[in-house]
Structure 1
C-alpha cells in the first residue's frame, strides 16, 4: 500500500549527527531496502499497513463481546492523536478534552517533554487517554543504527511506565518514516506503529481556522487525525474540530479502541 509521508520538520532539539550515517541492515531488512531502491530514488515509499477495519475483521471471528466503550464496527469512529508533547499547551488541551468528554492518543517525546512535564503525563493516563511514544529525541529511525533505534524507543517507554505504571504499546515514528528494520525492533520491544490519515500540517501555520478546515476536509470514518499540541495554533482549534465532527456523527476513540476487538500487534503498522 503506498505511503504518502508527511515531512514534518524535525524539532530543533533533535540531534542531526546521525543523518546520512549508514547502518548495517539485518537480512530481514535488506530485501525491503532493495525493494525500496527499485521503487523510488527519493526513498522508500512502500510500507505494508493494516487498516482499523481489517484489524477489527481479523479479530471478530470468535471474539468476546467486549469492545471497550465503543464498538467501531457499528459506530462512525475517528481517533484524535497528538504528537511531540507534553508542552506548555497540554494542560489546556486536557481541560478541553475533559470538558468535551473526548479521549485522545498522545505520542510523547522524551527529551525536554516527558522529562519536563511528568505531571502532565500522569494526568493524561489518569484521565483515560492512551499514552504512547514518539521516540526520545525525534531522530529519524530509518537513518540511525539498531542500537540507536532501541534507545529512541526504549527510553520514553521506560519513562512513561515509571510515571503511569503502564508500558506503552504504541509508537509513532518521526515523520512517519519507517522500514522493515524499524518494524523488527518495534516488535522486539512490544510496540505497534501508528501512522495517520488526516494532517493539518499545524507545524507550518498558527491559523487555527485553517487547521480546523484542513482536518474537517480530510476526516472520514476510521480516520486517525495527526495534530501537535506544542504549536500555538493547534489547541485553540480543537474545540471547533470536536464540535464539528460530533455534528457529523463521529464518535471519538483512542487508537486501541479504533482497532477493537482487535489489539495492536507489535511490529505491525496501522493506518486507515
Structure 2
C-alpha cells in the first residue's frame, strides 16, 4: 500500500504472525530509537487486560505502539484516552461516527457492542517510565462469541457488521497512526483537558447508572464525569466516588 503521509517520527514493523504484539514490543524495546508501531496479521497468544486471552483471527487488527513518553507515570497513563480518541477518529472514517462511543477505561463501542480494546503496559525505574506499550485490538472481520467473554460483558461486534468496505489491517494502522500522532501532539502542547473534553463528548452511558467492579466490590452510581486524573467519577448515595481502576458493567 501507499504509506505517503505516514507520521515521519514513527517507525513501523509489519509481521504475518507473532505470539503477541505486546510481547514483541517488549523484545524489541532495548534496540528501538524511535516510536514504533508493530502490526501482526495474526497473533497466537494475544492478550487483553488482566491477562485475558484476546483472539485475533486473520483479518482482524492487532498492533502495539511502543515509545518513550514524557512525564510522570500518572500522566503517561492518560495515553489510554489519547489512544481511544485515535481509534474513534480512525474508525469514524468507515462507520457512522454516531454509532461509535467510548467506554471507560479503555474500550471502543460500535452500535453498543465492543469493537476494540486498549491495553497499556509500561516499564520504568525511580518513578519514571522508560517505555510505554499501547496494545490495540480491533474486531475488523470477526467478533468473539458471547461464550468467549465474561458474564455481563458488553457483547462483542465486528466492524464488518456495520460497513461494506473491505478493511485491511495495514490501512487501519495508517489511519490510526496519523490520528494518534495528531492527538499526542495536542496532549504534549495543551495537556489532558482538551483530550478529556473530547473523550467525554463520546462517552458511553454518561449520566446513566452503571456498575464499577473494584476487586470483589460493586459500586453502583451515575456516571458523572472523568476527572483531571482520568478517574471515573460516580454519583452514589454516599456522595461522589472517584475510581482509578475498575471493570465497568452496564
The TM-score normalised by the length of structure 1 is 0.25
Kindly indicate whether structure 1 or structure 2 has the higher relative contact order, using CA contacts under 8 Å at least 6 residues apart.
1
**Higher strand proportion:** 2
